[in-house]
């Protein structure tokens, strides 16, 4: 990996692969009739998927912060030690992911039964509200970070630069695609529960 951003992207890609495996497991379980398990059984069965879904979400924010720092403080950004910098971004993401998944296990019970065991049904009671609230907060923070990055980029290069317009367009595309690929399913899952 030649840059910090590449390490973050690779970590996100690894999380994406694990989430794909998790979603295949969820789909396979529903096809073979492994349904209507207790919330505790559900959380234990898909704990790795919950952790990596939360990691996906939080690394998206870490990538936004990384790009913002590269734009706002380019000279200092290049001077920071890469290992410590990446640890500073990735450790909170891992803690966030593990805490939410652990809280899901803590709140789960043998009473509530989930028809299909996936994220929205694995989280129950306060854990579901914590999961939903934290994801909404991360989404809003991401929008704010990318918006601030695009504004900072506009101030540094001047408004008429073709190169700057391309970069701003790519930042806006990232924000729109993120909202479609992550935010909308979260809201849809909440509505259909």
On whether the CB atoms of residues 112 and 89 are closer than 8 A, the answer is: no
At 137 the pLDDT is 92
Residue 55's pLDDT is: 94
Residue with tokens 């559900």: 42
pLDDT in the model for residue 171: 67
Among 73, 78, 67, CA closest to 167: 67
d(CA 112, CA 98): 22
The pTM is what?
0.82
Q: Whole-number mean pLDDT of the chain?
A: 84
Domains of the chain in sequence order: 4-191 (1.20.1070.10)
Tally of CA atoms within 13 A in the half-sphere of 147 that contains its CB? 7
Angle at CA of residue 161, ends 160 and 165, nearest 5°: 95
- Reading the chain (193 residues) residue by residue, the pLDDT tens digits are 468 888 998 999 999 999 999 989 888 888 888 888 888 888 888 899 999 999 998 998 998 899 889 888 888 988 999 999 999 999 999 999 999 999 998 988 777 777 778 777 788 889 988 988 998 899 889 889 988 887 887 776 555 567 666 766 776 777 777 767 766 666 666 665 5
Q: How far is C-alpha 139 from the geometric centre of its chain's CA atoms?
A: 8
What integer pLDDT is reported at residue 157 of this predicted model?
59
* pLDDT score, position 67: 86
- Rounded to the nearest 5 degrees, what angle is found at the Cα of 96, between the Cα atoms of 57 and 134? 60
What is the predicted pLDDT for the residue at 185? Answer: 65
Q: What is the pLDDT of residue 192?
A: 57
DSSP lists the bridge partners of residue 114 as 37
């Amino acid at each position: 990996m030649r840059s910090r951003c590449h390490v973050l992207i690779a970590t996100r890609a690894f999380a994406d692969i694990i989430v794909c495996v998790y979603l295949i497991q969820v789909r396979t379980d529903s096809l073979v009739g492994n349904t209507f398990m207790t919330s505790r059984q559900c959380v234990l069965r898909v704990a790795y998927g919950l952790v990596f879904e939360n990691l996906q979400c939080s690394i998206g924010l870490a990538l936004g912060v990384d790009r913002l720092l590269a734009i706002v403080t380019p000279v200092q950004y290049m001077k920071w030690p890469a290992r410590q910098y990446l640890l500073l971004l990735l450790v909170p993401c891992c803690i966030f992911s593990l805490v939410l998944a652990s809280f899901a296990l803590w709140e789960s019970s043998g009473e509530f039964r989930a028809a299909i065991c996936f994220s929205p049904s694995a989280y129950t009671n306060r854990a579901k509200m914590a999961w939903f609230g934290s994801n909404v907060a991360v989404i809003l923070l991401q929008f704010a970070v990318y918006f601030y990055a695009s504004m900072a980029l506009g101030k540094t290069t001047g408004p008429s630069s073709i190169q700057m317009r391309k970069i701003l367009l790519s930042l806006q595309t990232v924000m729109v695609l993120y909202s479609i690929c992550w935010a909308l399913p979260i809201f849809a899952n909440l509505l259909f529960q």
